[in-house]
Amino acid sequence: MIRALRSVPWWLALLCLALSSIEPIVHLAIAYFPPEGSVHTGLHTPDSMFFLLAMRMFETDLYSPFATCQSALGDSGLPFYPLPFHWMYGIFGAIGRLLHLPVFQYFAWINAAGFLAYCAAVYTLYRVVSPQNANRAMTIFLVGGGLGGVLFVITGVMGLHDAPDFETNFGRFARYQLLEGATLLPALQAGRLYYTLPRALGVAAIALLVIATRRKSMRGTVLAATVLASSTLANMNLGVMAFIVTMFYLVFGSSAEARFRLSAAGLLFVATAGPWAFSFWMVTQSPTYLEDARVNAAQALWFGPLVCASLFHVAASAPAIRRTMPALPLIGRSLVAGGAGYLATFAVLYLGFQAYWGNWVAGGDYGAAVAVSDWSLLGGIAGVSWIVSRHRGLLPLPDSPFKREEKDTQVGWIVIWLLAFVCVGISAFGQGWFLRLTPTRFGWMLGPPLALLAAIGLSHIAESRPRVARTLFATLVLCGTTSILVSAFYFIGPWGRQPGEGLFAGSHCEYMTEADASMLAEYNGGVFLAPAQGSPYFGDVIAMRPNAKVIYGLGTYDFSDQMMTDLGPRVDRFYSPLTTDDERRDFAREFCVDWVYCPDTVPVATETIEQLRQTTWLRQHVEAGRGVLFSVSIEPQEDY
């Protein structure tokens, strides 16, 4: 691996460093250059509160500000930090405190380091698998993109950003190309260390396994298994996915003798199963997380936005996939043909579903997946049947026009990796039953194989049509670079924004108004209730303060004793102008509320505020702008 990293060209290293600097630069801008009339909330993206809170878990003895007075588990302990990556963040947080580093900036630095580690692992894999295509593949991996950024710029120039439904309609195209998180562009994943570091370890384990099997080194295999175990411990889902890829390699990519491959498979299984079982045990300690995740994370990859994000990758990859087919054994060819048949059928039925319901812009991807996944299996069966029939001579079709070369035999397992993960990721088998397994997470590992196959495919295209290859490569880079710039300035970065305003405001929680900051300065402890809508969630903002107690925020998902899917609607009901005073009073009594907050950044309905002012058990503590902070004062005989 060290030898592979030493071969990185200077311009590629500089590109990785430039992309890794986005997070630190954005965090500096957020903290020290807020817009006029705004104050930093202490957060960046909505999800950053999970990571920042976990970073101080050891300092606070595993205290959870989201534990309610109904908790039978108290307000601290393992059940409130049930995910292994919480502990990863906790370790980094402890290191930062020992070094007396500013938490918000340090958070950006470790994110940048995780991104660089991921880049190093992916480049190593490319150098090991296809050294002649490594540099081009890495360029596509880093800055190869789809139409999202270009479409955002074009619609802006046309003045469509002010259209009433623009955010709703365009959001699906931004999903995998502009919004930070699980996208194909690694720069947009850099804010999530629990993505980048486990992926770095998982991809490194795959690369180490390839090296070890070529050398027939069991010591190298043990090293690969150790790294894979670390990946699984850091993120149980990504570790399992990396394990699946190692099995694809051992079955379809390795030429080592069967005994060695079986031994390696057993070792890798144990290295994955042990940490996974421990991680699952940790998750089960939470009273709510598994059920909340079953409801909130039950999603598949959205097919339309995925195609929009990977359109040029797929066009470039097609020759590589086609040339690989003859080099695979029968079972491998059957998997590729079955996957291709499934995807082709899915695409046709998806287009029919969207045409029938008229969902070309507005969406419908969830309903389409539920409607067509089961029927698309017929296409997969047809693909497998076609390959088997050819193998048995029942269909005397001509052989592939492409010459079988050694370099083609080395990437067959990469093709299977890509097709298998796409097919699983977009599916909602059993009329949606399969969604409880959260197939959308398979999209987390699509970037590396897609970029490598695109690079190999471009080299094949260049053999006969070099101008087409250059144009396609330039299109990939131009579109990807545009998406990264648009995302860095508008979606990840807060430039030109005012708190709670603008398109995709729900993706931003960096700032609140000065009115909110002045009111929250009055909070001096006690149980704090804030609305369950808008961004930022002020429950999350208060939760970052020492010894705070809040009823609801995004942090409820991971750190509470209450089901997020149950508590959120109840908080919405509390702030609804249709709710009676008795209902609000009962809720406040049940959850021991000391403060009721109506923010200025994301205002509550004026009618609701007037109703709260008229109650006998609330006292207006402070008012600023459109917001009000109430203190709760229930009579002694009704005290809780």
Q: What is the pLDDT of residues 34-71, one digit of tens each?
A: 988 899 999 999 999 999 999 999 999 999 999 999 99
- Which of 207, 211, 240 is CA-nearest to residue 414? 207
Q: How far is Cα 315 from Cα 480, in angstroms, rounded to an integer? A: 15
Which of 155-164, 336-345, 437-446 is modeled with the greatest confidence?
Answer: 336-345
pLDDT at 273: 97
User: Which range (7-21, 414-428, 501-515) has the least confidence?
Assistant: 501-515
Highest mean pLDDT among 357-361, 455-459, 534-538: 455-459
Write down the pLDDT at residue 502.
81
Rounded mean pLDDT, 611-626 = 95
Beta strands in 508-548 (DSSP E): 511-513, 527-529
Within 8 A by CB and 6+ apart from 161, the residues are 155, 503
Average pLDDT over residues 88-97: 97
Q: How confident is the model at residue 392 (pLDDT cuts 50, 70, 90)?
A: low
Q: How are beta strands 38-40 and 511-513 bridged, if at all?
A: antiparallel
Which residue type, as a one-letter code, is found at position 210?
V
* Residue whose C-alpha is closest to residue 419's, from 338, 484, 347, 322: 338
Where does residue 505 fall: left (phi above 0), alpha (psi -120 to 50 degrees), or beta otherwise?
A: alpha
Tokens 């998997």 belong to 335
* pLDDT band for position 179 (cuts 50, 70, 90): confident
Three-state DSSP state, 427 = coil
DSSP assignment of 212-228 = HHHHT-HHHHHHHHHHH
Question: Is pLDDT of 266 > 90?
Answer: yes
Both structure tokens of 387: 């390959």
Q: What is the dihedral of CA 226, 231, 237, 241, to 10 degrees?
A: -60
Look at 302 and 327; give whichever has higher pLDDT.
302
CB 491 within 8 A of CB 572: no
328 has a pLDDT exceeding 60: yes
Would you say residue 405 has pLDDT above 50? no
- Amino acid found at 360: W
For the residues 271-294, what does the mean pLDDT come to?
A: 93
Tens digit of each residue's pLDDT (9 = 90 or more) over 207-259: 999 999 999 999 999 999 999 999 999 999 999 999 999 999 999 999 899 99
At 516, phi and psi to the nearest 5? -65, -45
Of residues 397 and 627, more confidence is placed in 627
Write out the H or E segment, with its range, that includes residue 133. none
Cis peptide before 439 (omega within 30 of 0): no
Q: What is the pLDDT of residue 253?
A: 92
Asked if 245 contacts 203 with a C-beta cutoff of 8 angstroms, the reply is no
Distance of CA 361 to the CA centre of its chain: 23
Q: Could you tell me what percent of the chain has a pLDDT over 90? A: 77
pLDDT bin (cut points 50, 70, 90) of residue 637 is very low
Q: What average pLDDT does this structure show over 303-324?
A: 92
Task: Determine the Cα–Cα distance for residues 440 and 241; give it in Å rounded to an integer.
Answer: 12
Compute the average pLDDT of residues 66-83: 94
Mean pLDDT in the chain?
Answer: 91
pLDDT above 80 for 564: yes
Encoding tokens for residue 322?
């086609």
pLDDT confidence of residue 363? 67
- Return the pLDDT at 362: 64
Q: In what order do the strands lie in the sheet with 618-624?
A: 549-550, 527-529, 595-598, 627-632, 618-624
pLDDT at res. 1: 65
User: What pLDDT was estimated at residue 402?
Assistant: 40
The rounded distance, in Å, linking the Cα atoms of 633 and 640 is 11
pLDDT band at residue 383 under the 50/70/90 scheme: very high
Q: What is the mean pLDDT of residues 356-384?
A: 87
- Average pLDDT estimate for 332-361: 90
d(CA 224, CA 263): 13
pLDDT band at 403 (very low <50, low <70, confident <90, very high): very low
Phi and psi (nearest 5°) for 596?
A: -120, 125
